Each structure stands twice: as structure tokens, then as C-alpha cells.
Amino acid sequence: MDEMTLKIEHLCSGFFTERGYVPAVDDVSLLIPRGHVVGIVGESGCGKSMIARSVMGLLKYPGRITGGSIRLDGRELTGLTDRELQPIRGREMAMIFQEPMTSLNPVIPVGKQMREALLLHEDISRSAAKAEVIRMLSHVGVSEPEKRYNAYPHELSGGLRQRVMIAMAMICKPKLLIADEPTTALDVTIEAQILRLIRDLSRETGMSVLLISHNLGVIAQMCDTVYVMYAGKIVEQADALTLFDSYAHPYTRGLMDSVVRLDATPRRLPAIGGVVPNLLRLPAGCAFAPRCPHAVERCQAERPALEELSPGHWCRCFERGRE
Ligand SMILES: Nc1ncnc2c1ncn2[C@@H]1O[C@H](COP(=O)(O)OP(=O)(O)O)[C@@H](O)[C@H]1O
Ligand SMILES: [Mg+2]
């Protein structure tokens, strides 16, 4: 067993469009040690879901991995065919999405869907599979699991559907769970419950988690390590405590300012002026420079590299730490 569940090195993936190549993920490296919860945070469009889909092998044409390496428990995933990936998806890595309806089949009762997923990957009897599904539903906090087993997705509330999707992802005990904005569609109370559930499951089972969110508040409660992403690149990374105590990138600062008290509404304020850049026409210098309150001439002309500020704390900025 590799001590790293997931090892992404220099990953590049993007879209081949009529107007040119869109570099959605640009030279991203990311590590998830066994049992850790690792977060990716950044505004919409920065490439978070592209990383998730690259790992899962779910990139659709015209999207493609164009470089780098993705290793799950030591095994290289890039270059595998869909057929080779099929048994790895579900069994070794599973993904949950913002909207459960996109991954639940609307015309099959939820329990039966979970049972089929289990039967596909494990050599057990139908009745044993059903018992395991009911156990898992109960484990993720679905009350009356025997009754819910026969419910159709539309008969469940948003929070329950999300629990079912987590149970579905967990049923084959994957090594890695990728949760892409898993609570964005839920209200604050349910969100807190679902996040706690994911964290507890990870602690109990040693499962590694990649948690993706545009909300730094969500990431803060959950993660051991945080990667901040902007325009396809990692701009800062650190363990969660370091990041929150001594973040150094002006973009991270902007995200911090966007998080207001969790019980207040609205929950996010537009604290960073301007918009994310068009990936087809990235600036010559730092991609964040046009929106950055600390940008100097050099930032417009040159692209900063990721530099290690202290052990494990990396930042991509010439003017880092300026207030
Ligand atoms: N089919 C597509 N063709 C070209 N660009 C795309 C396509 N789908 C997504 N993109 C671009 O890829 C970038 C990354 O998208 P995504 O990973 O979904 O962002 P996030 O999950 O961080 O919101 C975005 O800038 C988006 O505009
Ligand atoms: Mg996304």
C-alpha cells in the first residue's frame, strides 16, 4: 500500500475548442495521504471540477488530460481505457455531486440502485447485498432504512437524497471519496450534518476525501490540507491551521473576506472585485494581477512560481503577505 491514496503530479487538462485550447487545469500537483481530508477551494470556473473529473476518468470530449500523472494507491490512472477504469470507479474511488439527481436513477428505488452497485463489485448474494444497503443507509443517518429502501429519489428531501448518494458512494468502501460541492444546494443546518457525516466516515474507515467547494468556510471546518485554486493553477497550499492563521496570497485573503458568519445570510459577500479571467486570453503575468490590490509592475509581466514559505506552506505571489 502506498502511503498516499492520491498523488497528482503536474496535471494538465483542458478543452480543445474551435477558438483554441482552454487550459482548465494547469500543472496542478496535489497529495492526499491515507485517511486525510484535503480541500480545493476557489471561485466558480477555476478548474475544481475538472480535477475531479480527470481523476475519475470522466472527462468528456472535447475535454482531455494533456499531461501529468494521477496515481491512486500507487497505480497510474492516466492512459487507462474506460473499460480499465470501470472497476476502479465505485470500488476504489467514488464521487458525490452537488445535485444528487444527476447521479441517482429517477425510475429505480434508491435501495435497489445501491444493491445493484454492490452486486456489480462484490461477490455476495442478493439478500446479503440488501442487508448491507440497509445497514449503510442507517449508518449515514437515513431513518427507517427498510422503508426508504423502496423509495424513489423524488420521494426524498434534498438532504435525504444527499445522504443516499453518500451511502451509494460508500457502499463499496472506496479508498478515495471525491465530494464536489456536496452541500451547495442544501440549507445551512443540513449542510453541517452532511459535512460532519463525511468527516466521521473518513475517520471511522480511514477513507481519504477530496472535498471541493467555493466556500472557504466549508473547507475550514473539514480539511487537514487546503489547496487554493485560481484560473487553473494552485496559488496557495498549506495545512488548514497555517492557511487560516497565516495565509499569504491576496486571492486567499479575498476568499477569507468572502466568508461571513455561518449563521448569517447571505453567506457570501462579493469581496473580490472583478471577474475570473478568460482562460483563452490569460494575462502575460499573474492571472490574478488584474484584480489584485497589491499588484506591481512585475506582476503584470511575469508569472510567479509556487514557492515554499515554510515547510508545507506554498504560495504563488511576488508580493505575498502584503496587507
Ligand atoms: N465544454 C467546455 N469547453 C470549453 N471550456 C469549458 C468546457 N467546460 C468547462 N469549461 C471551462 O473549464 C473551466 C473549469 O471549469 P470547472 O472545472 O467546471 O470549474 P469549477 O468546478 O471550479 O467551477 C471553466 O473556466 C470553464 O469555462
Ligand atoms: Mg465545479
pLDDT of residue 265: 53
Residues found in the chain: 323
Contact partners, residue 275, CB within 8 Å, separation at least 6: 291
The distance from CA 31 to its chain's CA centroid, rounded to whole angstroms, is: 13
Ligand 1 residue neighbourhood (C-beta within 6 Å): 15, 17, 22, 24, 42, 44-50, 279
Atom of ligand 1 nearest to the CA of 60: 1
Pick the CATH number of 4-92+174-315 from 3.50.50.60, 3.40.630.30, 2.40.160.20, 3.40.50.300: 3.40.50.300
Atom of ligand 1 nearest to the CA of 180: 21
What end-to-end distance do the CA atoms of the chain give, in Å?
A: 44
| Angle in degrees, CA 82, 84, 88, rounded to 5 | 100
pLDDT of residue 59: 93
For the chain, the domains span: 4-92+174-315
Point out the residues of the chain with pLDDT beneath 50.
Answer: 261-263, 267-269
18 CA distance to ligand 1 middle (Å):
15
Is the model's pTM score more than 0.85?
yes
